Structure 1
Amino acid sequence: MSLSQVSRRRAGTAAAAAAAAALAVPVLAGCSAVDRALDCAGTASAVARSVDDLQQAVSDAGEDPTRADQALDRIDKNLSKIDKETDDGDVGKSVSRLREAVDSVRTDVEAGRTPSTKPVVEAADELTKVCTPG
């Protein structure tokens, strides 16, 4: 094999490697987006469970008023996690809407009023829809 053939083979190998790397970047970026969507969906599912807990806690407020605060705290924690994991505008809007509903329930609980959990449930449903991939 001549020197020019070796040189061409190395150049071809380098070009193939560069092409493979260029193709891998979008694939990896796509996986990252899917991973973020799945993380969002998983966290939205945790939010939904916390909303269920909140509804039960509001129903049982006479027995244990601290349960509502604990459920609200779990929702806040999960919303913060979603905020950190995604930069999607629709997710951000849903998180903000749910956070406002949670704050309203917290205000009612702290004032000794029976809160309506309907806005929380609706906002959590919206967040779940926005976070669901596909």
Structure 2
Amino acid sequence: MSDFNLSAFSDAIADIAAAAAPATASFATHQHRTATAFHWRDGYFVAAEEAVEAGEEIELTLSSGDKVKAELVGRDPSTGTALLKPTGAPDVPPLTKAGTVRPGHLAIAVGNSDGASLAAFGTVGE
């Protein structure tokens, strides 16, 4: 019989997701869906490029529930990323850099939906 403790493993995964959650924000897309943005650094948030339209009004809902206006300041269709700059300086920690990953490693995807944390668990595919 293995000494593996599934409950402790699950708690560790939940703790990792909870630690990352404050660095997330959500916003309504032009398609009336909710998308997640991540505080990258220096007050900038990164989101999926397809979720943001040029000239649209963006309001980020932080994990605290606070709302801040943001503007699209850059996009890169080749990587699928958009760079958002909130007005003011929200007190949000940036994500920490992950270590090296390879196919088969365990991964946790963390998101935000109207201030509520979301998490999914899986493996790195490539």
Q: TM-score normalised to the size of structure 2?
A: 0.32
User: Counting helix residues as a fraction of each chain, which structure ranks higher?
Assistant: 1
**Structure (1 or 2) with the larger CA radius of gyration:** 1
Structure with the bigger RCO (C-alpha within 8 Å, sep 6+) is 1
